[in-house]
Amino acid sequence: MALHISLLVFAGGILALVGGASILVRGASRLALRLGLSPLVVGLTVVAFGTSAPEMAVSTGAVLSGRGAMAIGNAVGSNIFNVLFILGLAALITPLAVHRQVIRQEVPVMIGAAVLLVVMGLDGALSSADGSLLLGLLVAYTAFLVVQSRSEGRAGAGDEFAAELEPVAQGGWDSSLGAQVGLIAAGLVLLVIGSDALVTAAVSFARAWGVSETVIGLTIVAAGTSLPEVAASVMASLKGERDIAVGNVIGSGVFNILGVVGLAAVVVPFGPGGVLAMPPDVARFDIWVMLAATFACLPVFLTGREIARWEGGLFLAYYVAYTIYLVMAAQRHDGARAFADAMMGFVVPLTIVTLAVSMLRRRGA
Q: What are the pLDDT digits (tens) for 32-51? A: 777 776 666 666 677 777 77
- pLDDT (0 to 100) of residue 76: 93
Residue 240: strand, helix, or coil: coil
φ/ψ of residue 278, rounded to 5: -85, 115
Distance CA 153, CA 36 (A): 9
pTM listed for this prediction: 0.81
Q: What's the CATH code of the domain at 315?
A: 1.20.1420.30
In this predicted structure, what is the pLDDT of residue 244?
A: 67
Owning domain of residue 54: 3-364
CB 76 within 8 A of CB 214: no
At residue 157, the pLDDT reads: 47
Count of domains in the chain?
1
Question: What pLDDT is stored for residue 357 in this prediction?
Answer: 60
- Regions of the chain where pLDDT drops below 50: 155-158, 167-169
Q: Which residues pair with 307 in a beta bridge?
A: 96
Q: Which pLDDT value is given to residue 134?
A: 96
> 125 phi and psi, to 5 degrees?
-160, 160
> Residues 331, 122: contact at Cβ < 8 Å?
no
